[in-house]
Amino acid sequence: MSTTESPQTTTAPSSATSQATKETLEDYTLRFAPRSYRRWTPMVVATTALGGIAYMADFSIGAGIGLAHGTGNALVAIAVAAVVIFLTGFPLAYYGARYNIDLDLITRGSGFGYYGSVLTSVIFASFTFIFFALEGSIMAQGLKLGLGLPLWLGYALSTLMVIPLVIYGMKALSKLQVWTTPVWLVLMVAPLVYLVSTDPGTIDRFLSYAGTDGKGGVNTASVLLGAGVCLSLIAQIGEQIDYLRFMPPKTEANKRSWWTAVIMAGPGWVVLGALKQAIGVFLAVYILAKVGADAAPEPIQQFRGAFDAMMPSWLVVPLAVALVVISQIKINVTNAYSGSLAWTNSFTRVTRHYPGRMVFVLVNLGFALALMEADMFSFLNDILGFYSNCAIAWVVTVATDIGVNKYLLKLSPLQPEFRRGMLHAVNPVGVVAFVAASGLSIAMYFHALGDTLQPYSPVAAAVIAFVLTPLMAVVTRGRYYLRRTDDGIEEPLLDGDGNPSATTYDCHVCHQPYERPDLAACRTHDAMVCSLCLSTDNVGDHVLPAQPAKA
């Protein structure tokens, strides 16, 4: 049962702090998501999370790989990338759902430190606006085909229409994703089933397509180049965790549905993603003769061709446009939401000022619109291939820290930590592993180490991060994970079932009640301070001092 303790000494909150508190209590931006807010069932959370992967980019990515390297290489590349994404996503999804924190908060305590994880927050924020731009471009193509709108206007409309939807956080997004998912599934699956059942020859043409690179068969270089593009999606686990952090506590009664939801909506997203990429190859090969290689990767053209085979002509374009628009809205509200969290998180830590999440919704959308107007769709694979090196290095580093450093080597604290004052500013374990892995793999990608090694850049990013993360933990003996082991509060962070404690205490700065994991003792008052007020403490009055080193 929850209790509330009143502090003996209080500090009047500033207007900025009051505004930050009010806004972050809607969707728990920058902080732990309390049990009192997490009222959804595991399956509702999972459905909401999976609704965010309704994007059409998979069809374009699969088509681009298949047209370039052939069906055989594309399918193997898609499978290789899916296995890597699943294995690295599992520990991250578990930590997000079990301890109710987002990927940035996980990253802080898993090798990067309080300020060190700003690096990865920027990487993740970049992921959201790159993929927002990609989805916006696809929607603009649909609006041009269906309504005759010029692309520049379609780009603007696809950007502006998500703003009202993303303002209200998880409550609004959960309703949107749950209600639109069945419609999206029917529109996506029905034409594929029809084509395969009525014209079995499409399967033979699909499987025999050799690609334009002239290599034929399955070869390592083509597979790795394709896998590198697919692996740019590895950071999608961050958006899945933005929903999974709202999972209810795991108990004996719900453990089966809890684990099903975590696996399905966490690393399991890649199963549907890989299927969509394979479908993208299939549809591109199907319409190639009709529209040409330039238009075949466009999802609007793919589904126009598919619907044309099964629908009256007057229904074809409206249905194709409806599918594209629904998909774009479903994913881009997630991109805008997750991106705003990542930018706000970084800015607040660096400046110790909370500007409001809506500021960074607009910033993220501004970056995305600029990419769209620069016609990013025409050089999509180059952007994704480069970006994947950074994303792989980050996710593999954090996943390795959880799986190896925490559970095998016991050098990283098993219980996650994210609060200012409890963590060192920078932890060399994750920062060194990430910088080395991403730096070398990017050099390989740009042919700095020769043409022969260029396709192996994603492999290098993964292997270097996997090796260096435990090596750095051993070299540093785990000394840079925790600045303190005691947060000044007697009650344990976790309850008897291993879930974050639901006991509440008042923050003496903003005068709001928070659950136990979101607070620490104050340095100068006999009271407690919430994690956001610690983040925005300009002079460090409330931040606990470093714990004396053991003799």
Tell me the per-residue pLDDT of 400-450, one tens digit each, with 9 for 90 and over. 999 999 999 999 999 889 999 999 999 999 999 999 999 999 999 988 988
Average pLDDT value for residue range 311-336: 80
Q: Is residue 252 part of a domain?
A: yes
Nearest to 534 by CA among 423, 436, 460: 423
Q: What is the pLDDT of residue 2?
A: 35
What is the pLDDT confidence band of residue 9, given thresholds at 50, 70 and 90? very low
Average pLDDT value for residue range 530-540: 90
Alpha helices in 420-541 (DSSP H): 428-445, 457-476, 531-535
Q: What is the pLDDT of residue 550?
A: 55
CATH number assigned to the domain comprising residue 124: 1.10.4160.10
- Helix/strand/coil percentages in the chain, nearest 5: 65, 5, 30
Prediction pTM value: 0.84
Q: What is the pLDDT of residue 166?
A: 67
What is the pLDDT confidence band of residue 160, given thresholds at 50, 70 and 90? confident
The CA distance from 536 to 525, in Å, is: 17
Q: Is residue 127 part of a domain?
A: yes
Task: Name the percent of the chain lying above pLDDT 70.
Answer: 89
Alpha helices in 455-551 (DSSP H): 457-476, 531-535
Average pLDDT value for residue range 305-331: 82
How confident is the model over 453-499, as pLDDT tens digits? Answer: 888 899 999 999 999 999 999 999 999 999 999 999 999 999 988 99
Query: 10 burial class (0-12, 13-18, 19+ CB within 10 angstroms)?
Result: middle
Q: What is the pLDDT of residue 1?
A: 32
Average pLDDT value for residue range 218-242: 88
Q: What is the pLDDT of residue 25?
A: 47
Q: What is the pLDDT of residue 171?
A: 56
Average pLDDT of every residue of the chain: 85
Q: Is residue 132 part of a domain?
A: yes
Average pLDDT value for residue range 203-224: 82
Alpha helices in 352-483 (DSSP H): 357-373, 380-400, 428-445, 457-476
Q: What is the pLDDT of residue 248?
A: 93
Average pLDDT value for residue range 52-63: 82
How confident is the model over 380-400, as pLDDT tens digits? Answer: 667 777 788 999 999 999 999
Q: What is the pLDDT of residue 168?
A: 57
Q: What is the pLDDT of residue 135?
A: 81
Question: Of all helices (H) and strands (E), which one includes residue 123?
Answer: helix 118-147
Q: Is residue 159 part of a domain?
A: yes
Q: Is residue 25 part of a domain?
A: no
| Separate counts of helices (H) and strands (E) for the chain | 21, 4
Whether residue 110 contacts residue 427, with contact meaning beta carbons closer than 8 Å, is answered with no
What is the pLDDT confidence band of residue 12, given thresholds at 50, 70 and 90? very low
Q: What is the pLDDT of residue 501?
A: 92
Q: What are phi and psi of 97, to 5 degrees?
A: -75, -40
- Print the domain residue range for 115: 43-476
Question: What dihedral angle (degrees, nearest 10) is formed by the CA atoms of 53, 54, 56, 60?
Answer: 50
Q: What is the pLDDT of residue 3?
A: 38
Q: Is residue 524 part of a domain?
A: no
Q: What is the pLDDT of residue 518?
A: 93
Q: What is the pLDDT of residue 8?
A: 37
What is the pLDDT confidence band of residue 29, given thresholds at 50, 70 and 90? low
- Structural domains of the chain, count: 1
What is the pLDDT confidence band of residue 215, given thresholds at 50, 70 and 90? low
Q: Is residue 481 part of a domain?
A: no
What is the pLDDT confidence band of residue 16, given thresholds at 50, 70 and 90? very low
Range among 94-98, 117-121, 337-341 with highest mean pLDDT value:
94-98
Q: Is residue 341 part of a domain?
A: yes
Q: What is the pLDDT of residue 216?
A: 63
How confident is the model over 486-530, as pLDDT tens digits? Answer: 999 999 999 988 999 999 999 999 888 999 999 999 999 899 999
